[in-house]
Chains A and B, each alone.
Chain A
Amino acid sequence: MSLHVDVGAPRRGSHSKPRPAAGRGPGPADRRPRGRFSRFDLKYSPYFYIAPFFLLFAVFGAYPLGYTLWVSLHDWDLLGDEQAFVGLANYRALMADSDFWNSVVNTLGIFVISTVPQLLLALWLANLLNRQLRARTLFRMGVLIPNITSTAAVAIVFSQLFSREFGLINWTLDLVGVDAIDWKANRLASWVAISTMVDWRWTGYNALIFLAAMQAIPRDLYESAAIDGARPIRQFWSITVPLLKPTIIFAVIISTIGGLQLFTEPRLFNSGPNPIRGGPLRESQTMTMYMFENAFAPNYNFGYGSAVAWMLFALIVVIALVNVVIIRRLGNSARGGQ
């Protein structure tokens, strides 16, 4: 049994530092840069090519980020005249704010019960799509359809489905003798309802990413595994998953960022007076909703809202790192099992 699982994952050593000549590709070896301008071109053109992204990032990414930090150190009333510098007072108040911690718990709760099943489901779906199917392209494109529908439309339809009195879900539950659930005023129920929306939308998207990575796995690995007597389940866990590790890490990080910034779904799931609260007892208020509630209506406290934004940023970094570490471990142990 000699399965070289390293085949797919490029090793660090294989990337040698690119030297100027290497960039010219397999052209004639004797073509050398001529003149000062060509050398200049060779050296600096790449920077111009990637410059648009970084310029845009500086204007629309880095600057707002820094400005938000600056605002978060002030008592900044959106309508007020003067904005007093208060240092870390907003952050101190935030640490003692039970509504803030409530929103953190909600965000993490919704994140866990949406992302974990979502990625597992996507992995399974990708594995199915990776087989010989009739009308394969149709099915592969089909899983992406939920993703191209507008989030707002999805949220509105789902919030109707999960309506207490007029909703299809409660009606169905009633048929099988289960009492109506008040999806919007029950904490766990509201988390489940919102997670359903997220999963519906993003499972297919992740499945396609996994599928693309799966197709890069050499077929002969599976063939030799089959000859060695490994069943499909075993092949999946011992070949597919370990080789997919970089892709899984990518998907987990993207899902972490998206999941912790969840706004549209819970905001539209809640309607009525001041829906930004996410239910009468803030059952499904996420951190972005809490940020909005403070920065805009009804509090108009821009400094406090900015402090929430920075806490969210910090949390995303922490969770993303934790996730990467966990996934690495899992991958290693799976590989170690070989």
Chain B
Amino acid sequence: MRFSLRFSGRRRLAAAAAAATGVLLAATGCGGDDGAGDGTITLTVDVFGQFGYEELYKEYMATNPHIKIVERGTGGNLDEYSPKLTQWLAAGKGAGDVVAIEEGLMVEYKANPKNFVNLLDHGAGELEGNFLPWKWNQGLADNGKHLIGLGTDVGGMAMCYRSDLFAKAGLPTDREEVGKLWPTWQDYIKVGERFTAADTGAAFLDAATNTFNTIVLQEAGKSTGYHYYDTGDNLVVESNPAVRRAWDVTVDIIDSGLSGKYGAWSEEWVAAFKQAKFATIACPAWMTGVIEGNAGADAKGKWDIAAVPGGGGNWGGSHLAVPTQSRHQAEAIALAKFLTSPQGHVGAFQAKGPLPSSPQALDDPAVAQSTNGYFSDAPVGLIFGGGAKSLKPVYMGPKNQAVRTEVENAIRTVELGQRSPAEGWKDAVDNSKKAAAK
């Protein structure tokens, strides 16, 4: 060959240097991405589960043509969402312009309110009347001087059941009569024993942890107003009678052999919904959307909703906040206000069923008189909304989520027969102390 393919020395050196810097630039390079140039602003909303905002976005974008809304995380679960949000906040980059915060995690974010815009500085104070007082207070940090989030939904409770399985077991199927079967949890156990004796091939309930959560929040609401932490942020798992009572009732349920032991939120749990492997599940308002999603269209009309044993209570519910890292704070605040307005609450309820935390929305006929077709046209507005205004909130301490995980896990080991109830209780106490100390 006449022409050498080899580079000459000078060119070779240049090529090597170019390659090295090129890789480095590609690795570290980043650029501005602001603005489409036509004045349109894109707002990102981060959620988990089902918030039901799609129609509200369309409405908002129609009246605010310069805003484009993108939602991330619909259908995802909280266990995946909350670490991501925490990382974004810690990194100072990546979070949406509006983010959803679950009430159990709110306490952890309150520890450093600087991560969020103080909505009181932006005229949110006059909106106080739009929310249940305790829901409003949950969003306040720094002794009431800093409003982190505006309330979305609350978790009014009920008991969802499969009327086809109840019929098979010779139990009443009408929701009024079913509710009368179980004024207390002990009655619920008796019904469960009758159900089990009929041998339908299904368990009476899905998982003891779901039942435990319901009972502990009821007990706390009825007595102390707190469960794992007292209002002085001391860990009281061991000494709080509300926790112990809920534990004992749950152990009774386990001992009666009523649980299908499908770990809540696991793949088996989802499969058990599809195959009708259990007859009842404690359901906060937001759970109706989960049941519909898991059990699928085939089970439409087979599910129904009755009153929950043991009286009302609250489980779950979220807030919308605006991180200070948002580059469009003013627009984001306006959007958060819109989504949490009484009108926003009603829209979300109609779309996916989360129960409003706004008294005006709860009184709105669109909520109060609504029925749910999937659940045999159950009057969900009446069932969930009825007690919502009189709900007593349960206080949650700094490491609430970590402690709750430990107690739930202890319940699960008892349910699976890995631990005796006494050993399980010891685990619950010891491990929650350990988790709280981390």
Contacts and interface: CB of A to CB of B under 8 A. Distances in A.
Interface stretch (A77-85, A190-198, A203-211, A315-323): A77-85
Contact of B209 (A60, A273, A277): A273
A164 B417 CA distance: 15
A272 interface: yes
A194 to B, nearest CB: 15
A66 interface: no
A169 to B, nearest CB: 14
15 contacts: A41-B10, A41-B12, A55-B23, A59-B24, A77-B111, A80-B112, A81-B114, A163-B271, A271-B263, A271-B266, A273-B209, A274-B79, A280-B412, A296-B87, A297-B83
B89 interface: yes
B275 interface: yes
Given A274-B79, A280-B418, A281-B418, A48 B13 contact: yes
Interface in A280-322: 280-281, 294, 296-302, 304
The 5 tightest CB contacts between A and B, nearest first, are A272-B266, A48-B16, A272-B263, A298-B402, A296-B83
A274 B265 CA distance: 9
B90 A79 contact: yes
A78 B91 CA distance: 9
Contact of A272 (B89, B108, B269): B269
B109 A163 contact: no
Interface in A95-119: 99
A187 to B, nearest CB: 10
A330 B271 CA distance: 49
Interface string A20-39: 00000000000000000110
Given A55-B27, A163-B267, A273-B79, 5 more contacts: A38-B9, A185-B418, A272-B268, A299-B399, A299-B435
A49 B438 CA distance: 47
Interface in A164-211: 164-166, 182, 184-185
B115 to A, nearest CB: 7
Interface of B: 9-10, 12-13, 16-17, 19-20, 23-24, 27-28, 79, 82-83, 86-87, 89-90, 108-109, 111-112, 114-115, 209, 262-269, 271-272, 275, 277, 399, 401-402, 405, 408-409, 412-413, 416, 418-419, 434-435, 438
A280 B413 contact: yes
B268 A274 contact: no
A273 B408 contact: yes
Given A45-B12, A163-B268, A274-B79, A78 B86 contact: yes
Contact of A300 (B24, B27, B86, B405): B86
Nearest to A34: B9
Contacts of A277: 405, 409
Contacts of B412: 280
B90 A274 contact: no
A94 B281 CA distance: 39
Contacts of A275: 79, 266
A79 B259 CA distance: 38
A78 B438 CA distance: 12
Nearest to A277: B409
A301 B111 contact: no
Contact of A79 (B24, B89, B419): B89
Contacts of B267: 156, 159-160, 163, 271
Given A45-B12, A48-B16, A49-B16, A274 B409 contact: yes
Contacts of A300: 86, 108
A180 to B, nearest CB: 12
A103 B73 CA distance: 31
Instruction: Name the residue among B90, B269, B434 with the largest chain A CB count within 10 angstroms.
Output: B90
A48 B401 contact: no
A273 B23 CA distance: 42
Contacts of A272: 263-266, 268-269
Contacts of B83: 296-297
B141 to A, nearest CB: 12
Contact of B27 (A59, A166, A280, A304): A59
B23 A52 contact: yes
Contacts of B108: 79, 300
A251 B264 CA distance: 40
B418 A79 contact: no
Contacts of A160: 267
B405 A298 contact: yes
A56 interface: yes
B12 A299 contact: no
A51 B262 CA distance: 54
B86 A273 contact: no
Contacts of A51: 16, 20
Contacts of B28: 59
Contact of A52 (B19, B272, B435): B19
Contact of B20 (A55, A296, A302): A55
Contacts of B268: 163-166, 271-272
Contact of B264 (A41, A166, A273): A273
A273 B406 CA distance: 11
B26 to A, nearest CB: 10
A304 B413 CA distance: 26
Nearest to A82: B112
Contacts of A274: 79, 405, 409
B276 to A, nearest CB: 13
Given A55-B20, A294-B438, A41 B13 contact: yes
A54 to B, nearest CB: 9
Given A185-B418, A272-B265, A297-B82, A79 B115 contact: yes
Interface in A36-94: 37-38, 40-42, 44-45, 48-49, 51-52, 55-56, 59-60, 77-81
